[in-house]
Amino acid sequence: MIVQALGVRTVDDLSEFGTDPWWLSLIKAVLIFVFLLLLTLFNIWFERRVVARMQHRAGPNKNGPFGLLQSLADAMKLMLKEDIMVKAADRLLYVLAPVISVIMAFLAFAVIPFGPVVDVPFTDRQTPLQLTDLPVGVLFVIAVASVGIYGIVLGGWASGSTYSLLGGMRSTAQVISYEVAMSLALVAVFLYAGSLSTSEIVNAQQRLWYALILLPSFIIFWVSMVGETNRAPFDMPEAEGELVAGYFTEYSSMKFAMFFLAEYINMVTVSAVATTLFLGGWRAPWPLSLWDGANAGYWPVLWFLAKVMMFMFVFVWLRGTLPRVRYDQFMALGWKVLIPVALLWTVAVATIRAMTLDGGLDRRVLVGGALVAVLLFLLLSIVGERAPKEEPEAEEQPFDPFAGGYPVPPMPGQRLPRPEPAGVVPGGAQPDQEDDTARRSATEEGD
Partner 1 sequence: MAEERVVGVGAGAAGFGGYDRGGGEPGGLATQDMVLNIGPQHPATHGVLRLRITLDGERIVGCEPIVGYMHRGVEKLFEVRDYRQIIVLANRHDWLSAFSSELGVVMAVERMLGMEVPERAVWARTLLAEMNRALNHLMFLGSYPIELGAITPIFYAFRERETLQQVMEEISGGRMHYMFNRVGGLKEDLPAGWLDRASAAVAAVRRRVPQIEDLIFGNEIFLARTRGVGTISPELISAYGVSGPIARASGVDFDLRRDEPYLAYPELAEEGVLRVTTGEDGDCHSRFGMLLEQVSVSLDLADACIARLRSLPQGPINQRLPKILKAPEGATYCWTENPLGINGYYLVSRGEKTPWRLKLRSASFNNIAVLPEVLRGCVVADMIAILGSMFFVVGDIDK
Residues near partner 1 (CB under 8 A) are 51, 54-57, 162-163, 166, 232-233, 235-236, 239-244, 319-329, 402, 404-406, 409-412, 435, 438-439, 441-443, 445-447
Shortest Cβ 325–partner 1 spacing (Å): 5
Q: Which CB sits closer to partner 1, 20 or 238?
A: 238
Amino acid 401 reads P
Three-state secondary structure readout of 138-173: HHHHHHHHHHHHHHHHHHHHHCCCHHHHHHHHHHHH
Shortest Cβ 162–partner 1 spacing (Å): 5
How deeply is 316 buried, as exposed, middle or buried, from its count of CB atoms within 10 A (0-12, 13-18, 19+)?
buried
Q: Which CB sits closer to partner 1, 125 or 440?
A: 440
Q: How many CA atoms lie within 13 A of 229 on its CB side?
A: 28
Question: What gap in Å lies between CA 385 and CA 382, rounded to an integer?
Answer: 6
Which of 226, 231, 212 is closest to 277 using CA atoms? 212
Distances (CA, A) of 385 to 336, 337, 381, 389: 15, 16, 6, 12
Shortest Cβ 91–partner 1 spacing (Å): 23
Shortest Cβ 175–partner 1 spacing (Å): 17
Q: Which CB sits closer to partner 1, 326 or 363?
A: 326
Which of 277, 247, 282 is closest to 263 using CA atoms? 247
Q: How many CA atoms lie within 13 A of 114 on its CB side?
A: 22
Shortest Cβ 420–partner 1 spacing (Å): 19
Q: Which CB sits closer to partner 1, 83 or 436?
A: 436
Q: Which residues make Cβ contacts (< 8 Å) with residue 131, sequence separation at least 6?
A: 25, 28, 29, 32, 109, 110, 111
Q: Which CB sits closer to partner 1, 109 or 315?
A: 315
Q: Which CB sits closer to partner 1, 412 or 421?
A: 412
Shortest Cβ 196–partner 1 spacing (Å): 35
Distances (CA, A) of 186 to 112, 332, 338, 342: 15, 21, 13, 9
Q: Which CB sits closer to partner 1, 261 or 333?
A: 333
Shortest Cβ 222–partner 1 spacing (Å): 16
Question: CA angle 288-293-296, nearest 5°?
Answer: 110
Shortest Cβ 434–partner 1 spacing (Å): 9
| DSSP per-residue string spanning 253-268 | HHHHHHHHHHHHHHHH
Shortest Cβ 318–partner 1 spacing (Å): 11
CB atoms within 10 A of CB 429: 8
Q: Which CB sits closer to partner 1, 55 or 206?
A: 55
Q: Which CB sits closer to partner 1, 129 or 325?
A: 325
* DSSP bridge pairs for 118: 127
305 phi and psi angles, rounded to 5 deg:
-60, -40
